[in-house]
Structure 1
Amino acid sequence: MTTTLTQPGSGDRERPARATMKDVALLAGVSAKTVSRVVNGEPGASTEVRERVLQAAQRLDYRHNLGASTLRRKDSRSGIVGALLQDVGNSFSAGLLRALEDSLRSAGLSVLAASLDEEPDRERGIVADLVARRADGLVLMPASNRHEYLVSEQRAGLPIVFVDRRPHGVDCDSVTVDNRRGAGLATEHLISGGHRRIAMLSDLEEIETAHERIAGYRAALHAAGLPGDPALLVPSVRGELEATQVVTRLLALPDPPTAFVTGRNILTIGAVRALRSAGLSHQVALVGFDDFPMADLVEPALTVIRQDVQRIGAEVGRLLLTRLAGDTAPPKHVVLEPTLVQRGSGEIRRRPV
């Protein structure tokens, strides 16, 4: 189960009172302690009594208070893992969240998710909220650049796994993709198609993933002996509309790019719109970083650098479960290789002048 973490509203209506454990005990003809044993899955109640309690709970629409149980249990487990991602509405984050949920379900863990929107203060506030809710573990795609504020939580035994971006200032488990290699693959592929004027659109350069992808783009140009034109590298492109505007502007240059690398899936979508509007979808090559639903249905179908979201989520879940099981080994840093998926848009060759 995945729940999205939001701030409480100010206009909540008064809720009707729910049935309590005492109400269930009265209807079932047992003590409240017996009801507690049954709903917490503890031994000590016969099959007949257990069935009677469960039937009474169903009739009364009783919902067990997990929070109260957590305070009484010796292991203090809440059954909740917090997942702080950049935007749960983005296809990459959504796919990662689903993969994480699948990997944790068999252990009886639910995922409480929140979007950070590249806001460090929001990150710290939600982390504090999850700690107060006694979350069993934390998965973090950080908005902040330094993470010393997590040292006390780690020292207290909270398992923390970083995903997509590495920890700085605290040594925790992490699962990342080789972003530099991925952008290098995209750029090398376009160079092999004869392109020399290759533009790149990127997110904020201070974001680690964006910084690494820009470095990979530059390294590939340098290795091919191509001068990097500063006008063709546009960082800090924050959304689809801005990406469309940037690509449109670059296409209007006296010596426009013949190919594009886009550093995020939403930037790829913006680039597709600009190329289609200019009637250049089949003349200008495009390789996007991150796959997304229906990328293969665009005309031409999109060539992308794919991150294996299922494997990333599975690795994060595995590391987290290992820590919850008591593993105290030094932190592990898993780096996965991205894949170039050729579909058509990246295979458009540069036309002879």
Structure 2
Amino acid sequence: MNAELVDRVLASVAALGFQRNQLASTLRAGRRTATVGLVIEELANPFYSTIASVAAEVAARHDTMLITASSEEDPEAERRLVFDLCSRRVDGLLVVPAGSDHSFLRPEVEMGVQVVFLDRPSGGLPADTVLIDNRGGAREAVAALLAAGHRRIAVLLDSVAVYTMRERLDGVRDALDDAGLPPEVARIAEGVADPSGAAETVGALLDGPNPPTAFFAVNNRITVGAVQELWRRGSGAELVGFDDFELSHLMPRPLTVVAYDTAAMARRATEMLFDRIKGDRSPPRTEVLGTKLVWRGVRR
């Protein structure tokens, strides 16, 4: 086209506010939609926001847009979000499962949607999965408390309906079995869902008969609430928490965390998804990332 016609077209584009329809252009050319979906549990939790950030970064390197949605730990919401993303013809899905049955995704997978699960395995659907060693990390954490001489350990957890909670509780039991100690050494407190609930539970346990000398908090939000209450009381009870968290090194009292590389988990899962989108049809595989104990907090 000559320069005059180009100028006229560009002037019309500017006047009309035209935006190119990327989805329509890829469909017309018989290409993929260059979008992938991510379904996580809770955007406010730094663990999940890290996953979203890393997944978006990897997707951008593949010239793909990431659409993120939060199921808020609700299996029905997860199902609705997954179907909504599939209706938008995403090329693939990254899912941190809220439910335990994902067989509903089978027709979508058979139609070509690639799926990778992370942090928790799928139920009823063979798929690539990237996990952390929840059981091994909890086992090491409680073993350290036992080695320090603790025999009254409170375990603070949300719900055993959640895969990671069950695995971490199994790790607690493994540590007790290894030491030849009865299950009663660990006092299990369920239904601890957030920092305020954790603080309240810690307080109640410390005020009760035979108070714990140590606490094992099974996720980062519970750990934060436990730190708050132990610091408020000036308690010397030892604390180990599963999951490292931002500013943990600045907590006002000593604690230990079970740390792992959240970014590495998200990066690996997202790369696995793009391998599948590009044509990898090898059998589904599960990869497990290790953990380690790390000292945190202010030590005097």
Question: TM-score scaled to structure 2, two decimals?
Answer: 0.93
Q: How is 1:122-137 mapped onto 2 (pairs within 5 angstroms)?
A: 122-137=77-92
**Are 1:164 and 2:116 matched, yes or no?**
no
**Are 1:286 and 2:242 matched, yes or no?**
no
CA offsets 1:66-115 (integer angstroms, 9 cap, x no match): 2322331312x222111000101101001111111122211111111111
What is the aligned partner in structure 1 of residue 53 from structure 2? 98
CA offsets 1:18-55 (integer angstroms, 9 cap, x no match): xxxxxxx9xx865xxxxxxxxxxxxxxxxxx5x98667
CA distance in 2, matches of 1:298, 1:251: 20
CA distance in 1, matches of 2:74, 2:29: 35
What is the aligned partner in structure 2 of residue 145 from structure 1? 100
What is the aligned partner in structure 1 of residue 74 from structure 2? 119
Helix, strand or coil: the match of 1:138? strand
**Are 1:195 and 2:145 matched, yes or no?**
no
What is the CA-CA distance between 1:203 and the residue it aligns to?
1.8
5+ residue gaps, structure 2: none
Task: Indicate how the Cα distance of structure 1 residues 226 and 58 shifts in structure 2: closer, same or farther if over 3 A, else same.
Answer: farther
CA offsets 1:162-197 (integer angstroms, 9 cap, x no match): 010111211011100110001111111111222111
Give the root-mean-square deviation of aligned CA atoms. 2.2
What is the aligned partner in structure 1 of residue 24 from structure 2? 68
Given that 2:38 and 2:93 are in contact with CA atoms closer than 8 Å, whether structure 1 keeps it comes out as yes
CA offsets 1:184-224 (integer angstroms, 9 cap, x no match): 11111111222111111112101111000000011102211
CA distance in 2, matches of 1:98, 1:192: 38
The aligned amino acid for 1:334 is E
Task: Indicate how the Cα distance of structure 1 residues 230 and 114 shifts in structure 2: closer, same or farther if over 3 A, else same.
Answer: farther
Among 324, 335, 340, the residue aligned to 2:288: 335
Percent identity of equivalent pairs: 38
Helix, strand or coil: the match of 1:114? strand
CA distance in 1, matches of 2:65, 2:23: 13
- Larger radius of gyration between Structure 1 and Structure 2: 1
CA distance in 2, matches of 1:206, 1:115: 18
**Are 1:320 and 2:273 matched, yes or no?**
yes
Given that 2:243 and 2:259 are in contact with CA atoms closer than 8 Å, whether structure 1 keeps it comes out as yes
Q: How is 1:32-51 mapped onto 2 (pairs within 5 angstroms)?
A: none
What is the aligned partner in structure 2 of residue 183 from structure 1? 138
Q: Report the count of equivalent residues.
A: 299
What is the aligned partner in structure 2 of residue 224 from structure 1? 179
What is the aligned partner in structure 2 of residue 40 from structure 1? none
Helix, strand or coil: the match of 2:280? coil
CA distance in 2, matches of 1:326, 1:52: 43
What is the aligned partner in structure 2 of residue 266 from structure 1? 221
